[in-house]
Amino acid sequence: MKVPVKVGVLVGSLSKESINRRLAKALKTLAPDNIELIDIDIADLPLYNRDADADYPQVARDFKAQLNDVDALLYVTPEYNRSIPSVLKNAIDWASRPWGQNSLGKPSATIGASMGPLSTAVAQQHLKQILVFSDAPLMGQPEGYIHFTPDLISDDGTVNNPETREFLANWINAYAEFVHKQRG
């Protein structure tokens, strides 16, 4: 068995009833034993301001410490106005600064769910552009655009549709393999 790695999970939604939070829970239940998915909360980060670069607030220092303590990152994002939510962009800004102290250069993947038939395709493409600039090695395939329908994933992360469960299990296994290959 491969050495387990810690994967930080950033969910780009603040909603208590977030379908992307459900998706993240589902991925945890389907993840292979060689990775451990760890939630990293982004809700309490203040708006990024470069004036804070010389003296990060404690919440931002704690956030960066959590990022530095994991081996890889998984971004689970909704799509807002054909882009990523501002809370996720804000977290990325804190994580990538101050200059020379980028915490994002880890094996990464994006996935997301939306009620719309295009799901989160446009948001994920935008997110991938940001992550490439942030020197994050990205899994290209398979992509994960989940068209969320009522009862697709229960609050506890149970995937109720067999085809979706199989797709997500294959997706998280592919990501685990990608992470292990990136780490050597």
Residue ranges and CATH numbers for the domains of the chain are 5-183 (3.40.50.360)
* Predicted confidence band of residue 149 (pLDDT cuts 50, 70, 90): very high
Cα(11)–Cα(18) distance, integer angstroms: 9
pTM, rounded to two decimals: 0.96
Taking only the tens place, the pLDDT of each residue in 36-76 is 999 999 999 999 999 999 999 999 999 999 999 999 999 99
Taking only the tens place, the pLDDT of each residue in 89-147 is 999 999 999 989 999 999 999 999 999 878 899 999 999 999 999 999 999 999 999 99
Is residue 153 over pLDDT 60?
yes
Mean pLDDT in residue range 24-43: 97
The per-residue pLDDT for 116 is 84
**CB of 138 within 8 A of CB of 131?**
yes
Is residue 184 over pLDDT 90?
no
**CB of 22 within 8 A of CB of 54?**
no
Residue 166: CB atoms within 10 A of its CB come to 12
* Predicted confidence band of residue 2 (pLDDT cuts 50, 70, 90): low
